[in-house]
Chain A
Amino acid sequence: MQQLIDEDFLRRLANLRFMSHRRQGGRFSGGHVSPRAGMSIEFADYRDYVPGDDLRYVDWNIYGRLERLLVKTFVQELDVPVYFLVDTSASMRLGRPPKAVYASQLALALGYLALRNLDRVGLFPFAERLAESVPPRHGMAQFSRFLRALSGIDPQGRTSLARSVEDFLSQTRETGIVVLISDFLTSDDLGEPLARLSYRGDDIVAIQVLDRDDIAPTHTGPFRFQDIETDEQTLLSVGPGTLETYRTRFADYEAALRRQLESHKAPLFVVTTDRPLERFIYEDLRAGGILR
């Protein structure tokens, strides 16, 4: 754990908790508001008494005034499964530090604070297909499994979010919060997998981990560019003008990605690997309403 994440840092994260935008229906009590009324200390509404209701929740004051039996309902707080889909394709090898390392640290930190909030946390590494996953479970023992799985990640292969989501949906039945951590640098269409996740009712949180060089490369000269995932190559002589064009094209790509995610109510958080993880979590994710 020391290699991947700092223990002190995890302790500092303990006061944060995940926020679900949708009300997810969990199976166990947890820290998330359920779409169903339930038992908790947060008052929700009144409803007519039906036999079988717990008489402790009948509001006798209203009965005294209105002679109607009304039962107080409370917001039911349930646990929500938090699924971490972490990109382990070859492109995640790049960066200083590698994007895969940063993504793993991020998944580990967010998973930790989800476990601390009594949520079930699952890890689903993916590249072309979903790799060996860690099914969602409670408890800090899950954190150890989480850590082991993330420590063993060796980024390779192409990115195929469509097939990976298909695998993910087939492996999980319960809706939850899907934290999608990837560099999202692919020419594949992301619309379909996002639509499928959204259709199932999952809360999608997209975190794009990028290297500074992905956004604004600075090297000039003749290069043989090689796609790290497909090994496809092209020769290109890069000058200031080409770099400028690249930056424009990349910004267009990012804007398109953001639009696509927003159409599925999925916020996109972009982070570069040179940004301290703690600041990203405390500043960007909190500001984005993902953590509280």
Chain B
Amino acid sequence: MSFVLPAALSLLATALIVVLLALLRSRQRRREVATFFIWRELRDSASARTQRLRSLLDPLVILQLATVVAVVFAIAQPLWTSKHSGFASLAIVVDASASMSTRMNSGITRYEAAVRRVDEILATYPSSSTSVVLFSKNPRALVANETDKTTVSRALAATSPGWEGDGRPADLASGLAAVGGASAYEQIILLSDHAPDAVPFPLRVETFSEGSDIGITAFSVRENPDGGGVSAFAELTNGSDASQSLRLEIVDDRSRTTIEASLEPGEEAAYVIPFPASRGSRFVASVNANDASPYDNVRYASLERFGGLQVHWIGKSSRYLMAALDAAAPIRLVDVPPADLTVVYDTDIDALPDGNVLLVHSAVRDVITIGDRTISGVVAAVADDPLLNGIHPSDIYAERLPLVDILLPSLSLLSVGDSPFALRIPDPDRLIVVLPSDLVATNLPITVDFPILIRNLVARVMPARPAAASQWTLVGGPVSLGSGGQSVELLGPDGRALELLPEQRSFFPDRPGQYTIRIGGETCVISVNVDPGETPSFAAVEPATTTAASLPPLSSQLRDRSSRLWPLLAGAGLALLLAESFLYRRSLSERGRTQ
């Protein structure tokens, strides 16, 4: 044992004051008594003998001396040096990637098992100065050169694995650099679910790889070239040791599609899933795997969709109508439905197409018949309809307006005399507009009313679909928030706004999902996924050979460990003082009772 302030031991001389005071107090006082004959008899009684002994060993004096000794020693700050096994410096790197949340057969996650192992190491090598690094794609130092094991354990117990992917050896080196660098440590222990690739410094790796993993390892969508829906690409991995019958479901904003898949143990299978009905831009793929690692059973993708009007054109072309449509909205002609608008121009068709339809001088079998007889005259409005907003019907003149028979209920909007010039077939789910006349047989295309009419029509059929940009990244990857100067709004996967610092130019998503960034008037959807590398193949989950039990034991030297005893001594001094005070008060009260 050594002392930080050995000179303070000279204060032990103050104990002499206590002894002197005790001697002064206990010196025999003379008492003249009238009952000497009684006192003389008492001299040899048992109680007097006990009291005589007690006066020699006054507990109050003993406690006072003990208090003085404890306080003086506390001031001298003794250091108790003992031999303990341990490392001069120990770095523990705990894998905090998403795969560490895989639940093991024992019911705890790999991460929890790693934390328990850390506690074991700390208990075995208590004299080590310990640093802890949480290792993933973005490593971070949790504890640096801490000698208090409780602090290390508490700090680690408060953490949990994130959603990030595995870090690379360079990431490991940078994580250790934050706590002094790998070279500063006598022993570095990595607790992970897999051994890392070539690490440029000595490292003991203990793995916790129990637990099956079935997951989606890849997911993306692209628009079909013909404009009809999307095609999804998904890859499933069966990391378990049993065959799996899985159901993969893909959901967009409004619709869904599913496929069934059967995978052998360790099999990876890729699927192209047609999703023709999809008109959305956000996609979520999920697999119904009942495994120990649910973090990779859902993946996200987003698609940059065309923001204009998709038109399916049937019949002859018309540059007037095409120009009017282009003037109203960006147009993309699609070869196959569905489309936002189907234009049937100067042709006969067998049935009314699905969706919104504009029929121009076209017949539909058994529904709309265009007669041979025509009339001419100025057009007049016969109904009040939003389609006619801004139109002056008297400006329009029909040279040859064919008579038309419609076997469906219809609403005439414009007419020449009794013959309809423009009519609408009422349908609550879609818009069907019929212009019986050939456009070139009227002056409509050259009037200002024509683009107005088409704009009114497009406004009715234009889908409420934002022109969204699309990005993707992995959890922990950087996402740019623009170059500044514009208002930025960031919405998390749950749709709630995430707080951003002023002038924040990037952020690192810490969980998977679809984030929405609004910069100025533009919107961008970011699909954030767990690193596919976190889903190991079957080969990777072979029984581990690097668990702590299978490794040679950690060897460390016996080291001196100095324990500071002054808090203990100060506490003891206080306790002794309280005990002395208690005894003194009790003796006072006893004296009071006898009086």
Contact = CB atoms under 8 A, between A and B. Distances in A.
B40 interface: yes
B36 A94 contact: no
A221 B24 CA distance: 12
A249 B46 CA distance: 14
A224 B47 CA distance: 17
A223 B590 contact: no
Interface in A229-259: 229-230, 232, 234-246, 249-250, 253
A230 B36 contact: yes
Contact of B48 (A91, A185, A237, A253): A237
A241 B34 contact: no
B38 A250 contact: yes
Contacts of A238: 48, 51
A186 B35 CA distance: 7
A186 B36 CA distance: 9
B167 to A, nearest CB: 76
Contact of A228 (B32, B42, B54): B32
B26 A246 contact: no
Nearest to B29: A223
Contact of A244 (B26, B28, B47): B47
B34 A249 contact: no
Interface in B31-74: 31-43, 45-48, 50-52, 54-55
A241 B594 contact: no
Given A227-B33, A236-B43, A241-B50, A218 B55 contact: no
Nearest to A243: B594
Contact of A237 (B33, B38, B52, B595): B52
A285 B35 CA distance: 25
Contacts of B154: none
B23 to A, nearest CB: 11
Nearest to B33: A225
Contact of A236 (B27, B34, B48, B590): B48
B595 A225 contact: no
A241 B38 contact: no
Interface residues of A, number: 39
A185 B35 contact: yes
State which size class the interface on B falls in.
20 to 34
Contacts of A244: 47
Contacts of A187: 37
A236 B22 CA distance: 18
Contacts of B47: 239, 241-242, 244-245
Interface string A197-239: 0000000000000010010101111111111111010111111
A94 B34 contact: yes
B30 interface: yes
Nearest to A247: B594
Given A94-B32, A221-B26, A242-B45, A237 B55 contact: yes
B30 A224 contact: yes
B591 A228 contact: no
Contacts of B55: 221-222, 237, 239
A119 interface: no
Given A218-B594, A222-B55, A240-B594, 19 more contacts: A91-B34, A94-B33, A183-B34, A185-B34, A219-B31, A221-B29, A222-B27, A224-B30, A226-B32, A227-B36, A230-B36, A232-B36, A234-B36, A234-B40, A237-B51, A239-B51, A240-B590, A241-B50, A241-B51
13 contacts: A214-B34, A221-B55, A222-B29, A223-B31, A226-B36, A232-B36, A238-B48, A239-B50, A239-B51, A241-B48, A244-B47, A246-B38, A246-B42
